[in-house]
């Protein structure tokens, strides 16, 4: 049994973390920490949790102790740096849901996140916690950088091909769509219902901060080809939908590609390989990533869908906690009755 601290527990992902910790068989207790919301009642932020959680006090991050075994950090980019070095130096496990430790190279933070990294020595001691990919390593470490929502969808879709067919790949084009909750709870005019209803728009074209994170992981598996990544906003609250087109220098057949994906994900309970392109509504409010792979001569078209707040944030974070402690990765997340139906 462990004790958990949730720093930043009043946002969208914080709510999901609370729900997962509340139902986890090995989380004995947990506390929520915040800055501006300290001293307030959790129910004022999440009325839906009334009667479902016991401890409703929001504690101050200024009174943060080292009483917990593991800490989830669900803060805006740059703010995790204020807490993680001290937590690690005190021997605590940390799963950071922000982007502060995902990249391996310090200089990339100045380019893509516009700040100087104050604890870059930790970048080499963390693991990039793509929980569903079999080669992710959790041995002898304390810090997990939880992947971003877009990178989770892109990497789970592309890594099996890159790892097995990198010498055949000429180019990869990724077009991805997100619900507005990916921008957090802070009010923004461009995300209002009156602005987004019936609307779709591209944003951060050729400049999304998740692009170096994606390329970093692809290159580690042998990727050395042309790559593009374009993001869009959908008029929905939650979800990520991806279409990736992979152009090859020679033809492949559907059976060969199907076998590659099956062999990679056959033991991954949250990956569902679909015979048809997935729909967003199949994965919203779940920790599943649904993937379809269609082969057309020298082109492979991959479509995938995830919930950005769960698979792209809190659900994967709890998976990472489970893997750190050697538990079944579905604990606290997946109902027993559907566990055995996770791969198709």
11 with 185: CB under 8 angstroms?
A: yes
**CA diameter of the chain:** 62
| Residue 218, both tokens | 């692809």
| Residue 176, both tokens | 């991805």
Q: How many CB atoms lie within 10 A of CB 83?
A: 20
Q: How many whole angstroms separate alpha carbon 121 and alpha carbon 3?
A: 27
244 with 187: CB under 8 angstroms?
A: no
Catalytic residue annotation: 149
Length of the chain: 344
* Residue 336 burial (10 A CB sphere; 0-12, 13-18, 19+): exposed
* DSSP assigned state of 172: E
């Amino acid at each position: 049994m462990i004790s958990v601290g949730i720093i930043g527990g009043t946002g969208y992902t914080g709510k999901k973390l609370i729900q997962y910790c509340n139902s986890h068989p090995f989380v004995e207790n947990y506390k929520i920490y915040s800055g501006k919301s300290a001293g307030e009642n959790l129910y004022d932020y999440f009325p839906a949790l009334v009667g479902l959680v016991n401890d409703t006090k929001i504690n101050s991050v200024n009174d943060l102790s080292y009483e917990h075994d593991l800490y989830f950090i669900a803060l805006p980019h740059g703010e995790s740096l204020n807490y993680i070095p001290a937590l690690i130096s005190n021997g605590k496990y940390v799963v950071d849901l922000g982007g502060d430790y995902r990249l391996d190279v310090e200089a990339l933070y100045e380019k893509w996140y516009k700040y100087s990294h104050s604890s870059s020595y930790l970048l080499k001691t963390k693991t990039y916690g793509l929980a569903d990919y079999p080669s992710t390593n959790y041995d002898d470490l304390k810090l997990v950088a939880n992947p971003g929502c877009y990178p989770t969808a892109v990497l789970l879709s592309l890594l099996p091909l890159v790892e097995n067919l990198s010498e055949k790949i000429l180019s990869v084009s990724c077009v991805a769509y997100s619900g507005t909750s990916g921008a957090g709870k802070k009010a923004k005019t461009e995300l209002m219902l009156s602005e987004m209803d019936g609307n779709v728009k591209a944003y951060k074209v050729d400049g999304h901060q998740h692009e170096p994170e994606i390329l970093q992981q692809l290159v580690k598996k042998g990727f050395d080809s042309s790559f593009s990544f374009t993001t869009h906003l959908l008029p929905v609250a939650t979800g990520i939908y991806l279409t990736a087109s992979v152009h090859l220098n020679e033809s492949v057949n559907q059976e060969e590609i199907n076998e590659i994906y099956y062999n990679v994900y056959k033991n991954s309970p949250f990956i569902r390989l679909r015979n048809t392109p997935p729909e967003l509504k199949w994965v919203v409010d779940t920790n599943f990533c649904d993937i379809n792979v269609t082969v057309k001569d020298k082109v492979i078209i991959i479509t995938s869908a995830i919930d950005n707040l769960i698979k792209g944030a809190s659900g994967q974070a709890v998976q990472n906690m489970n893997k750190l402690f050697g538990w079944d990765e579905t604990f606290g997340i997946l109902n027993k009755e559907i566990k055995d139906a996770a791969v198709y």
